[in-house]
Amino acid sequence: MIQPIAITPGEPAGIGPDIVLRWFARGTDRPFFVIANLEMLRQRAEQLNLTLDIRALDDQSLADLTFQVGTLWVLNVAIAQPVVPGTLAVANAAYVIATLDLAIDLALAGQVSALVTGPVQKSIISDAGFPFSGHTEYLRDRCDVDEVVMMLATDGLRVALVTTHLPLSAVSAAIDQAKIKRVTRILFRSLVEDFGCAAPRILVSGLNPHAGEGGHLGREEIDTIIPALTALAQEGIATLGPLPADTLFQPHYLEQTDAVLAMYHDQGLPVLKYRGFGNAVNITLGLPFIRTSVDHGTALDLAGSGQADLGSLEVALQSALDMAEQREQQHA
C-alpha cells in the first residue's frame, strides 16, 4: 500500500488552486491530499461554486487518513494576506515556499510517496527575495543532491534535458562528458524503476545544427557527446546518437526509443509541448522521492473563472500514482 501523495497548488493567485479544487470536486477516493491555506481553498471553492468537504488535517496522521469521494484533506499553511485571484502579492511568496518546504520535508521523511506541484510565479518569488529559478533547481538544492533531470512526458513521448533554465549563450559551456553521463544514468535508472522499461533505449540529440556536421558546425558532438555515449555503452546503457535535433523526432526513431535526451530546454520541449501541451507532465528525476508537475504556468487571467484546463494536472496526478505503484511493486 503506497503512502499518500501530496499536492502543492503553487501560486495562490493563479489557477493552481482552481484546477486542484475542480479535480477533487469531480470525485476521487485516491490517496491525495493538499498542502495549502485552508481558508483560501474554501473561498476559492465557493467562488467556483464547487461542492466539496474541505477538511483540515490537524493532528491526524497521514497514514490514518480515509480518502473518500467529496472530501479534500488539507494540511494548512498560514498565508500573509487574503488572496485575490489574478492579482499577485509579494507578501504571499513566502507562503508558496512554505508549502513546498513542508511537502519536501514530508517526502524526505517517507511520509508521502510522491509530490505533485502546481504552477508557481517565479518572478514574484524572486521579487520577495527568495533565490528561485524553478521547482527543479529548488528541489535539487533542498534535497542536497548533485544532479537532477527535468523530463516532460506526454502520450508516446518522453523528453529529458541535459541543461534546463540557462541562457542559450551558456549552454555549450555547461555540457561536458561528466554531466552527460550523470544525466543519462539518472534517466536510465528512472526508466527502469519508474516506468518498467527492462532495457531502456535512449535517443540522444546533438547540440549543433546537423549534429555538428562532422565538426564543420561545431565540435561538441565529437569532443564531448560521442565520448560520453561510448563510455555509457560500456556500462550497458544503450543510446542512439547524437542525431540532428531537427530530424530525430521522427516516428521511425521514436518507435524504437523509450526517451529522448535533448541538450537544452528549447531544443526538446517545443516538440513535446506541440504534441501534448495541456496533457503533459513535468517529472524531476534523481530526487529521493517522486515529483511530478503540470506543464503550464499560473494563467493569472483565468484564475477564479473555472475555465482552466485540468488535463495536465490529471496527467501529473496519474503519473505520480503510477510511478509510486511501480516502485512499490519493485520493492515488494
Whether the pLDDT of residue 62 is over 90: the answer is no
Phi, psi of 87 (to 5 degrees): -120, 115
Is the peptide bond between 242 and the residue preceding it cis, with omega within 30 degrees of 0?
A: yes
Residue 74 has which C-alpha cell? 488539507
**Matching CATH number, 147-280, of 1.10.8.100, 3.40.50.2300, 3.40.718.10, 3.40.50.11540:** 3.40.718.10
Res 131: pLDDT: 84
Which triple of cell numbers denotes residue 90?
A: 509579494
Does the pLDDT of residue 330 top 80, yes or no?
no
The three cell numbers of residue 199 are: 532495457
- 242 with 211: CB under 8 angstroms? yes
Determine the topology of domain 1-145+287-332 in CATH: Isopropylmalate Dehydrogenase (3.40.718)
C-alpha cell at 160: 529529458
**∠ CA(61), CA(83), CA(36), 5° rounding?**
15
Task: Establish whether domains 1-145+287-332 and 147-280 are of one fold.
Answer: yes
CA distance 91 to 87: 12
Distances (CA, A) of 256 to 187, 191, 248: 16, 14, 11
100-144 pLDDT, tens digit per residue, is 999 999 999 999 999 999 999 999 999 999 888 889 889 999 999
- Report pLDDT for 64: 81
Per-residue pLDDT at 59:
61
* Domain definitions of the chain by residue range: 1-145+287-332, 147-280
Phi (first) and psi of residue 200, to 5 degrees: -60, 145
Considering only CA atoms, which of 154, 152, 174 is closest in space to residue 163?
Answer: 174
Position 322, amino acid:
D
pLDDT band at 61 (very low <50, low <70, confident <90, very high): confident
The alpha-carbon radius of gyration of the chain (Å, integer) is: 20
